[in-house]
Structure 1
Amino acid sequence: MAPTCPKYDLEETDPSQFFDGQNITWKRHYIGWGIAGVCALLSTVISFRLLYKHARNYNKPSEQRHIMRIVLMIPIYSVISFFSYRFYKQAIYYETIRDCYEAFVIHSFFVLLLTYLGDDTAAQRARITAGPERLKWVFPFNCFYYNPHGELFLYWMKYGVLQYVVIKPAATIAAVVLQYKGFYCETIYSFAFGKVYITIINFISVTVAMYCMVVFYVTIKTEIEDKSKGLFGADPL
């Protein structure tokens, strides 16, 4: 007999409304909705303020387009988080948009780092080879060394980061399809359903991507020190 996913919260458990025309109902989930909504609104306003400043001073398109894409992640995340909290039964569908954009932002951040190094692969490799020839790997492999001057270093860093750009959206779409067919089962972790496998795939993919991103950043941080201060020290107000 095929396993079946248990069903929870098929019906609304609280028929009351936040405002019924006369009185306000103060319940914990209503308060949570309010706090989430206010936080989403504030983060969206601040983010669009920063986006406006970049658009008004759009004098370095090759860099600023990626910075603006990264900043846009804040309102997308906050709004989708609010909708996922408010309409939790449909959360997996909202999260599809969030997860796909997250992969796009990872790509944008990595390309931004490459752009800081140079406009083409030759210029980027020249900046990397200007640094030390022998560096320690980042924890937990910091007992070993690597050579950033090697022919394949930049290639493997690109591959390690950009595989996530493909795997994350594909895994998210697979999760939506499995959920629709009843084979995902978001409520439990069981190898009889798809959630465990999707989670494992995502975990391995994001771990490899983040590790390669950190290794690459550590390798080039001296070369882009002046750029990184401008990126992370920006005043949104």
Structure 2
Amino acid sequence: MGLFHLFGGSSGNDTCPMPSTFKIDAPEPFVSNLSFHRFNMIFSGACTALACLIIFMVQVTHASHYSNPNQQRKIMRISLLIPIYSIVSFLSICFPNAYVYIFAWTDFAQSITLGTFFLLLTEYLSVVVERQDNASKPLQPFQYNEDEDERLDELQWHKKRSVLVFQYPIVSLLLGAVTDITQAAKVYCLESNKTHFAHLWLSIIDYVSLGVAVMAVFRYYAANKSELRQYRVMLKLAAFKLIVILTFVEKIIFQILRSTNVMTPTSKLTYSDVIIGIPMLVICLQMVPLSCLFAYAYRASPYKIRQSDYMPTDSGSQNSAILPPRYYGSVFSPKVWLMMLSPKDVLRAIRYSFSSS
């Protein structure tokens, strides 16, 4: 990994302040006869279990009322971000020496979630367009110019937004692999922002890629705000972005606290407790209220079909305009869960975004 040594100029003798392996338990107990590490595992594990249970109930409710597969499989996939963050944070507490290797992949999970959210917006918009077309009312989903070639401009504008969004999964996948490689080569160094180490450069690339993708989603929503308002998109986006914003802000806060010696190892806290344990504890804890917000923002009630809506009318005929959509399974159907996990729509979106046509 001489590339990062080269960036550091003459600082080739710099060493990472982090130990190569962490001491797990502190000399003195934190609570009763439990070390902080053991206490953290119990408390964070309980928070992780609760957050995962809440999201699982959201998944089950959608699977039980699977009336719109195109939208609901995306919603179910988006809500997976909570369990992923919770479980990875919990595993980082249990195995602090593996933290860098596993937590780097939360960015990739986040990128897939953001891409899926973008696809959900396009799905919502397509429904609105279809309704407007059926009502013979022209709809202009991208109102940014009035040229004669507006339709072509709209498609080009959409594709540009798609490129900006789906570059993030590609970048985060590469960053995850490079992070693991540089960590194994001992040139990553989580606790150093020196140019000698890979951490600084990979963080910059990650933040830029994430910022570009998020701004593209915001612009897409802003251009179609009136059409998407009925789906409460801002609430859904807020529930998703709060995870990213909170973890980013907390990372900065913890770095400041450590740099000012407010958080330092003690007889009850090891280095790994301070660097990894406490930040991961905060993430596990905050996932509980965030899972509740997710459960509200992505609830299945709009997809529940009431039997009375499809009963014959007084004249004896059934309103064909409101016939129930086809059900694609139930909570016990493997197809429902496989559709949620299938990456086909994301892969198609990436191929479309970067195709020459």
Residue 173 (structure 1) shift: 0.9
**Alignment correspondent of 1:14:** 25
SS of aligned partner of 2:39 = helix
TM-score with structure 1 setting the length: 0.78
Contact 1:3 1:192 in 2 (8 A): no
Residue 11 (structure 1) shift: 4.9
Q: 1:180 aligns with which of 178, 184, 188?
A: 184
Q: Deviations over 1:31-57 (max 9, x none)?
A: 333332221111000000000011111
The reply on whether 1:195 has 2:203 as its aligned counterpart is no
For 2:101 and 2:93, the matched residues in 1 are separated by 12
**Alignment correspondent of 1:33:** 41
Q: 1:150 aligns with which of 153, 157, 164?
A: 153
Listed as ranges, the matches of 1:79-228 within 5 Å are 79-118=87-126, 129-130=140-141, 132-133=143-144, 150-151=153-154, 152-228=156-232
Q: How many residues align?
A: 218
Structure 2 CA distance for partners of 1:118 and 1:105, relative to 1, 3 Å? same
Instruction: Compare CA radii of gyration and give the structure with the larger one.
Output: 2
Residue 148 (structure 1) shift: 10
The percentage of counterpart residues that share the same residue type is 24
- Larger deviation, residues 86-95 vs 193-202: 86-95
Residue 106 (structure 1) shift: 1.2
Residue 101 (structure 1) shift: 1.5
SS of aligned partner of 1:205 = helix
Structure ranking higher on relative contact order (CA contacts 8 Å, 6+ apart):
2
Structure 2's unaligned 5+ residue stretches are 1-9, 237-295, 302-357
TM-score with structure 2 setting the length: 0.54
Contact 2:108 2:172 in 1 (8 A): yes
Structure 2 CA distance for partners of 1:54 and 1:180, relative to 1, 3 Å? same
The reply on whether 1:53 has 2:56 as its aligned counterpart is no
For 2:151 and 2:190, the matched residues in 1 are separated by 42
